[in-house]
Amino acid sequence: MAMTVELPALESTDVVAVPAPSKRGRRWMRPALGLLLPVGLALAWEIAVWLGLSNGRLVPPPSKIFATIVELSRSGELARHIIATLSRVAAGFGLGVAAGTLLGAVSGYWNWARRLLDPTVQALRAIPSIAWVPLFILWLGIFETSKIVLIAVGVFFPVYLGVMGAIQSVDRKIVEVGRAFRLSGAAMIRRILLPAVLPAYVLSLRVGLGLGWMFVVAAEFMGASEGLGYLLIDGQQLGKPAQILAAIVIFAILGKTTDWLIEIGTAPLLRWQDGFGRQSGAA
């Protein structure tokens, strides 16, 4: 008897005492763990070049990449390239999202529209988007329009598919609640369908944005005089690997930042979600 009383008492003090400090520690441990590999590799390479184990010409050490970024930004060139690329992505993303949302919503909501539109859209989706480049240049010229349209094409498909799929998979039982409360068509869309598709929509926006960043590089490869893609090509042609890597690093930072902006911008709208992600995030 005495044992059984004592054991739980011991356990409970354990539970209270141990996780409190470790929880605070874990909060910093997780990102730190993720940084370990890239920072470790960068440091190792820096040291290897410093020790003269490699001349670092084709694979410049981090310090040189950083110096290139500082140099580019001092001359104001970097800002010009970033603004050019960002505005292309913004315009293409906006266009692709608008078209994808509209057509996806129409196809998802009306069966006849899906039967009419979807086969064509799916056939177009099967074409690698880069294959459009020559045609876009012929049709729209070599300047901004063809670039923005190419990015928009890349963004369009995931958004279209995401919206259509999300509308189709809205729980019939929830829709029935709306019907039982006699919601009109517009109220049904506003009060049931929109909130129900929001999580999938946000996901498709993030996938679309990722493709937007991918396609801006392709677009800037097809003849641009400014932009981060231009920096890549310029670095290749003039044999400046540090400039190429600098542009890649900036691409990574911009891509991650814009994705993060979508994530935190929509987080308040998705607090209600009850999913695996939330569980593991809370654990």
Partner 1 sequence: MLALNALGKIYPNGVHALARFSAEIQLGEIVAIIGGSGCGKSTLLRAIAGLDRATSGTVTLDDIAISAPHAKIGIIFQEPRLLPWLSVADNIGFGLSELPATLRREKVAAALARVGLADKAYAWPRELSGGQAQRVAIARALVPQPEVLLLDEPFSALDAFTRRDLQDHLLDLWADTRPTLLLVTHDVDEAVVLADRVLVMRPRPGRLFEEIKINLARPRDRNSLLFDNFKRRVLTALDRSLDRNVPDADPASNAGEAMWW
Which residues contribute to the site for partner 1 (CB under 8 A)?
Answer: 173-174, 176-177, 179-182, 187, 191-192, 195-196, 198, 271-274
Query: Closer to partner 1 at the Cβ: 58 or 274?
Result: 274
Q: H/E/C letters for each residue in the chain?
A: CHHHHHHHHHHHHHHHHCHHHHHHHHHHHHHHHHHHHHHHHHHHHHHHHHCCCCCCCCCCCHHHHHHHHHHHHHCCHHHHHHHHHHHHHHHHHHHHHHHHHHHHHHHHHCHHHHHHHHHHHHHHHCCCHHHHHHHHHHHHCCCHHHHHHHHHHHHHHHHHHHHHHHHHCCCHHHHHHHHHCCCCHHHHHHHHHHHHHHHHHHHHHHHHHHHHHHHHHHHHHCCCCCCHHHHHHHHHHCCCHHHHHHHHHHHHHHHHHHHHHHHHHHHHHHCCCCCHHHHHHHC
Closest distance between partner 1 and the C-beta of residue 278, in Å? 9
Query: Closer to partner 1 at the Cβ: 223 or 275?
Result: 275
Closest distance between partner 1 and the C-beta of residue 110, in Å? 21
Closest distance between partner 1 and the C-beta of residue 260, in Å? 23
Query: Closer to partner 1 at the Cβ: 77 or 263?
Result: 263
- Distance between the two ends of the chain, CA-based, in angstroms? 35
Query: Closer to partner 1 at the Cβ: 14 or 263?
Result: 263
Closest distance between partner 1 and the C-beta of residue 201, in Å? 13
Closest distance between partner 1 and the C-beta of residue 199, in Å? 9
Query: Closer to partner 1 at the Cβ: 67 or 170?
Result: 170
Query: Closer to partner 1 at the Cβ: 74 or 173?
Result: 173
Closest distance between partner 1 and the C-beta of residue 276, in Å? 13
